[in-house]
Structure 1
Amino acid sequence: MPVSSNAGHLRIGRFSEPGRIYLITTVVHQRQSVFTDWRMGRLVVQELSHTQEEDWVDFLAWVVMPDHMHCLVQLRDKTLAELMCRIKSRSSLAVNQALERQGRLWQKGYHDRAVRREDDVKNLARYVIANPIRAGLVDRVHDYPLWDACWL
């Protein structure tokens, strides 16, 4: 199969293993800073909460940045593709309705990395929630409104 720049090729070879922990990143379409307005970010957070409440996944840590999102998740019985499709489609509907607009919210695809046994999950969680500090948005993570970790 010829290789192209199509985002669909990111999925070739992707495997979702129940119980496995994954670090996932997804980006807003054209890197628009939609979530600079924390109220729009809270709409994404609601969808994260719904997927956990419905036993799709356990969120270990997440952060919604102005133009992207990172999640450290442990899968239950759904695949990464099912999880991301649900989060992205439902958050798109909610954000577009709130902004009275139509169109794409998220870029196609997402990046995922399965966490190996030797990886320190808490260090990955710290990396995820420290994104606002590294981006210069806040000096302390507690000053940023769009993050959480299961250990707090």
Structure 2
Amino acid sequence: MPRQARLDAPGVLHHVMARGIEQSSIFRDSHDMEDFIDRIARIASKKDWFIYAWALMPNHFHLLARTGRKSLSGNMRSLMSGYAGYFNRRHKRHGHLFQNRFKSIVIEEETYFLELVRYIHLNPFRANIMEDISELEHYKYTGHSAIVGNADRPWQDTDEILGRFSTKHRHAIELYQEFLAAGATQGSRHELEGGGLVRSYGGWKEVEKLKRGREKYRTDERILGTSSFVEGILEEAEKQEEKKNTHVTMDSLIRNISKDMGINKEIILGRGRNRRAARARSILAYVWIRYLGQNGNQLAKVLGVSPQYVHRVSSQIEQDNAITSKEVEKWCNSIS
């Protein structure tokens, strides 16, 4: 959901992942990778987030990021939408580049911070992009080379990592290298990627469902942490649900969206093919189903369309990643 309260506020740590649509490549050459890195760096340089670990793979990427002055959702929207536009222009293609929205896991820091740094930076080695782990030290497309001092990336917070090994810089690097090498034989660690992952934007309602059965914690790793940490997240999810705009009726939502977009309410409710009206109906479906968690069948009846239609267009709006949390909150909170 767009309003994250404490969970998506400055200081929250996330493991973020996104893949190319249908497993397609999102980086075709070094030029693409450098462009993507520059975009991460620009956001980090403004203190909108803090980056500790990252890895670019041919068809996906990983980030270990702490929310800064801007929400994770806002940062990811800037990163992914901007890069997708660049990629499509450069390679003369159209359509979505990424598979759905990004995924993220809220991380219990003390338990998993270093494990994730290691896991993320070992991605190219596990994928056989290189034969020997020592090649990682000069590999440009993970954050490892910056931590060991072989790449100048001032926007990457390497001190936070090295400080957990030693107060002496050189000794800290040596201990970190030993730590990384010790993980080379661990293989894929799916527990660090989660099962049904909580998105930092739009997923807390699903987390709350875990309260129905505590045994699901280990088989559906939506949060990465100890039992007490998971319980805290579940409690926060419940609070978020209580704060949800339950006072919003379908009629008031239609009225607010039509007023904001400058479209007559009756046009939205009609079946005309006017592009602005179709866009408004799609936004309405997104807010009603994805944000408020309401029944799509009810909306389909009001609009005179099939349930499949409202679910499809709401999914398209979510994939476009073009609706901001402020817009959603405005439509839900406006007093007409």
Q: TM-score range by the shorter chain?
A: 0.7 to 0.9
Q: Which 5+ residue runs of structure 2 have no aligned equivalent?
A: 149-336
Does the 8 Å contact 1:62/1:71 carry over to 2?
yes
* Map of 2:111 onto structure 1: 119
1:110 positional shift: 1.7
- Cα distance between partner residues in 1 of 2:143 and 2:118: 10
Normalized per residue, the structure richer in helix is: 2
Does the 8 Å contact 2:17/2:102 carry over to 1?
yes
Confirm whether residue 28 of structure 1 aligns to residue 8 of structure 2.
no
* Map of 2:155 onto structure 1: none
- Cα distance between partner residues in 1 of 2:61 and 2:15: 11
Normalization by structure 1: what TM-score?
A: 0.82
Identity of aligned residues (%): 21
Match for residue 75 of structure 1 among 67, 73, 76 = 67
- Cα distance between partner residues in 2 of 1:81 and 1:72: 14
- Cα distance between partner residues in 2 of 1:117 and 1:61: 13
1:34 positional shift: 3.3
Match for residue 31 of structure 2 among 25, 39, 48 = 39
- Cα distance between partner residues in 2 of 1:109 and 1:63: 18
Which 10-residue stretch deviates more, 109-118 or 44-53? 109-118
- Cα distance between partner residues in 2 of 1:136 and 1:98: 28
Q: Which 5+ residue runs of structure 1 have no aligned equivalent?
A: 1-10
Which 10-residue stretch deviates more, 99-108 or 73-82? 99-108
What CA deviation, in whole Å up to 9, does each residue of 1:109-138 have, x standing for no partner? 122111113324222111101001111111
What CA deviation, in whole Å up to 9, does each residue of 1:24-79 have, x standing for no partner? 01111111123242221222111101111122101111111000010000111222
Normalization by structure 2: what TM-score?
A: 0.39
Normalized per residue, the structure richer in strand is: 1
* Map of 1:89 onto structure 2: 81
- Cα distance between partner residues in 1 of 2:81 and 2:2: 21
1:91 positional shift: 0.9
Which 10-residue stretch deviates more, 104-113 or 140-149? 140-149
Residue identity opposite 2:64 in structure 1: L
C-alpha root-mean-square deviation of aligned residues, in Å? 2.2
Does the 8 Å contact 1:138/1:144 carry over to 2?
no
- Cα distance between partner residues in 2 of 1:98 and 1:142: 30
Structure with larger RCO (C-alpha < 8 A, sep 6+): 1
Which 10-residue stretch deviates more, 111-120 or 17-26? 111-120
Does the 8 Å contact 1:36/1:65 carry over to 2?
no
In terms of Rg, which structure is larger? 2
Match for residue 130 of structure 2 among 138, 144, 147 = 138
- Cα distance between partner residues in 2 of 1:117 and 1:47: 25
